[in-house]
Amino acid sequence: MASLLRTKVEFFYDVVSPYTWFGFETLCRYRPHWNMELVLRPFFLGGIMKQSGNRPPMMVPAKALHMNTDLKRNAAYFQVPLKVVEDPFHVLVEKGSLRAQRLLTAVKLNNPRHLEEVTRQLWIRIWSEGTDITQNNSFWQAGKKAKMDDEDIEKCIKLVDDPVVKKTLIDTTEEAIEYGAFGAPTIVVHSKSGSEMFFGSDRFPLIAMYMNAQWKGPNPNPRD
């Protein structure tokens, strides 16, 4: 009965976004502290940017210059092991994350209990280890670290190019756009009075206020 009273919080995300990693870990930490049902929704940030007319921070010269310093500050504040990549343009634009987001969609459809950890492992690969997130071998390694069975990993990798998976990712991206998404993370909080969309990993005090919950900083578990 208690679960029916939980506030549904949808987290629309793309692992290409380093700032979104901060929001992801924060919400995962708060899951046992806030009375919420956290729903992970992998979408394609490239599609969001195109539809909304937005531009990534690194495509704006002044923002790009500030990004390295800002990411380091946020990594320390949110206690996330992020390291700035050597060539952000190559990682974010040339390689992108479309196949990674399709993999996460396949995992969500077929092995949802592993979605959180596979997501985390992809973020670690791209934004902590500086390794690939586009090749099948990379997906395999992420799945293994997430403790998925070999059979399930192989199935999800094969489904990356499946029409159903592709359409599901497109539909999720369009759903986020309908909520008003223009970047990542896009967080939608559902309550009895309606749904509210929040953008960014720095809106948690406002989300807490909306949920009538308490914000205790980026880590409510000080011993972690």
pLDDT at 82: 98
3-class SS of residue 186: strand
Number of domains in the chain: 1
Domain presence at residue 9: yes
Domain presence at residue 43: yes
For position 57, which CATH number holds? 3.40.30.10
Q: Where are the alpha helices (DSSP H) in the chain?
A: 18-30, 45-52, 61-78, 88-89, 98-110, 115-124, 136-145, 150-158, 163-179, 204-211
Domain presence at residue 161: yes
List active site positions. Answer: 17
Phi, psi at 11, each rounded to 5°: -115, 105
pLDDT at 111: 98
CB-facing half-sphere around the CA of 133: CA atoms within 13 A = 31
Pairing of strands 36-42, 7-13: parallel
Which domain range does residue 152 map to? Answer: 2-211
Domain presence at residue 200: yes
Domain presence at residue 217: no
Per-residue pLDDT of the chain (224 residues; tens, 9 = 90+): 344 589 999 999 999 999 999 999 999 999 999 999 999 999 999 999 999 998 877 777 888 788 889 999 999 999 999 998 888 777 777 789 999 999 999 999 999 999 999 999 999 999 999 999 999 999 999 999 999 999 999 999 999 999 999 999 999 999 999 999 999 999 999 998 899 999 999 999 999 999 999 999 999 987 65
pLDDT at 1: 39
Domain presence at residue 64: yes
pLDDT at 2: 46
Residue pair 113/54 in contact (Cβ under 8 Å)? The answer is no
Of the candidates 156, 47, 57, 161, the residue with the CA atom closest to the CA atom of residue 107: 156
Domain presence at residue 216: no
pLDDT at 62: 85
Domain presence at residue 223: no
